[in-house]
Amino acid sequence: MGAQVEEVVATNALTVNLHLLMVSFFRPAGRRCKILMESGAFSSDQHAVHAQLRFHGLDPADCLIEVRPRQGEATIATDDIVAAIEAAGGTLALVLWTGVQYYSGQFSTWVGSPRRAGRWGRGWASIWPMRWVTCR
Ligand SMILES: Cc1ncc(COP(=O)(O)O)c(C=O)c1O
């Protein structure tokens, strides 16, 4: 990620950090109001995302995009994540993607590239909880 060792610190509970990050970086405006995350995320992560959407007066049924594994597969294809981001286009306000999926163990490197993210324009943020990365 480009940080020096002395610039990294573990702090708070993950859910507290998620809320703090979303309060700062999830700034829905007009049609740019959607959050994209993996389907089957840890239940408290799902709850936090729902709570943030409702805090902004938004309905998770309309504003939460969940990407799931293809039929018969355990992990989510990078192409499907990219396709979901591109399909969301100007409605996307936040991508919340886990570094390691707690259930499948899928390790995600795809979204960590600012160069890649830059391709999709400005106006949205991304957050990558790294608990299980730092645990392994
Ligand atoms: C992926 C994930 N999200 C959220 C949590 C909840 O973390 P906390 O109790 O620190 O808020 C956990 C706990 O293990 C987790 O694995």
Give the CATH number of the domain where residue 59 resides. Answer: 3.40.640.10
Q: What is the pTM of this model?
A: 0.88
Ligand 1 cavity residues, CB under 6 Å: 13-15, 42, 44-45, 98, 102, 131
Q: What is the pLDDT of residues 18-76, one digit of tens each?
A: 999 999 999 999 999 999 999 999 999 999 999 999 999 999 999 999 999 999 999 99
**Radius of gyration of the chain from its Cα atoms, rounded to whole angstroms:** 15
Domain count, the chain: 1
What's residue 3's pLDDT? 83
Which residues have C-beta within 8 Å of that of residue 108, sequence separation ≥ 6? 97, 98, 99, 100, 101, 128
Range of the domain at 16: 5-135
SS (H, E, C) 105-121: CCECCHHHCHHHHHCCC
Mean pLDDT of 119-136: 73
Which of ligand 1's atoms lies nearest the C-alpha of 18?
11
